[in-house]
Chain A
């Protein structure tokens, strides 16, 4: 895969006036957004604010949803869901290779599994994996397609706190090596701040806050300079910290 150039000019994703509604209830109300190629972006929002709706629109998964607006997205898009969504009747490697055929793909599949730390587990059944391992396999499956855009919908939401921290490191590592554009949906402000270079807040069907986080990686949760970002994001989400 050719490395992306650092200049962030050509947008990988462009949304203009994107609207989506369910039964007449507007969820996305004219979202305008550009994601530069190779950028790591997080999307925050309350539960029910329409994050998944937005992500599914970008992934082209919302066949029967009403709505309009313009949407451009790259050819090769991968999605990681909150559940690992491994097919229980296929071994781990075969799951990773779902939709990728041939000998050369098998090699890439093995390499991807090794990259996420699952070398040697190729022939395991999904039921034999822990939650974290299953989610790593799902990451490997998304890598095999060499995506230009990686969409992740609360991919670590079901994991315990320790596993989540390790997965953060892994995701950031994979992004550095492959440089896809990433749109990470999360409801966890800290996760967004630690991982992303840009954080968006979805509120009332639009992007309410667009924040660039200009701190070096790897970041620590305890970095006091991140506290300022946290406060601004929490304020945008309508949470005031002085209650704590």
Chain B
């Protein structure tokens, strides 16, 4: 359906300027807004850095042992992909992050709903999570290794905890911070409890949920990097750690680049979903 927005109130046109005020020249005031966005603004900075890096490498101003040239890194990446274990390492890392993220996200949302929508749930859950939050999750690593061994389960568990906390906190805050005026409205309109939750509480909490989701995504990569670099025998972090022992800075850079791509792609995906779901938030000027 096409939306034709016709303004119903026809604005009474302002009187034509100036006729009665000779000598008063109207000038537009200086605009204080930074003006229009440059096209592809997000890419300009990174591309400039890349160009600088390439130029410095070509001019021989960088120690190739510390910072290899961009093309060296690319060549190494291709080499590792076709002849080495890069593909399996990437898959292993992705699987860890994905499982941990999915479990953490589900747990965060379910707990937030249980605690945000019922007083009993809140009494049971909220204090517990707040306590959990006080302990830095990465500090749990030794204990979890004891409990779960050093395999995949332990890594996924740690990532899930890193993810669930911001998801829970932000979603719960949004659920319980529902505007009391809307509660009153729901009562006036005779909404059932279920309809109240579905039409008012949940949609009203979505912006908060997305804040938590973005933090959770970032957290899952952070957790992954830390876990893979201290206790892993496969995965990207392990590859990088090994490279340190052999002084292969190009391999380390390949790993970092891939982490960067992971982060960028996942963050863009979340932003895209957020823009879709929260389309009502788009203001008139965007």
Contacts and interface: CB of A to CB of B under 8 A. Distances in A.
Interface of A: 59-61, 77-79, 81, 83, 85, 87-90, 98-100, 117-118, 120-121, 123-125, 127-128, 130, 132-133, 141, 145
Contact of B181 (A81, A123, A145): A81
Contacts of B200: 87
- The 4 lowest CB-CB distance pairs between A and B, nearest first, are A99-B189, A89-B203, A79-B188, A89-B280
B6 A87 contact: no
B140 interface: no
Interface of B: 1, 3-6, 8-9, 181-182, 184-191, 195, 199-200, 203-204, 206, 278, 280-281, 283-284
Interface of A, secondary structure class, is loop
30 contacts: A59-B188, A61-B188, A78-B188, A81-B181, A81-B185, A83-B181, A85-B182, A88-B280, A89-B204, A89-B206, A89-B278, A89-B280, A90-B199, A90-B280, A98-B199, A99-B186, A99-B195, A100-B189, A118-B8, A120-B4, A120-B8, A123-B1, A124-B5, A127-B280, A127-B283, A128-B5, A130-B9, A132-B9, A141-B189, A145-B189
Nearest to B184: A61
A119 to B, nearest CB: 9
B226 to A, nearest CB: 37
A98 B191 contact: yes
A85 B3 CA distance: 23
Given A98-B185, A99-B189, A132-B9, 9 more contacts: A83-B181, A87-B185, A87-B203, A99-B186, A99-B190, A120-B4, A124-B3, A128-B5, A145-B189
A124 B1 CA distance: 12
B107 to A, nearest CB: 26
Interface centre among A79, A87, A123, A128, by most B CB within 10 Å?
A87
Contacts of A59: 188
A130 B3 CA distance: 18
A59 B188 CA distance: 8
Contacts of A61: 184, 187-188
Nearest to B5: A124
Nearest to A141: B189
B284 to A, nearest CB: 7
B195 to A, nearest CB: 7
A127 B185 contact: no
A61 B200 CA distance: 18
Contacts of B284: 127-128
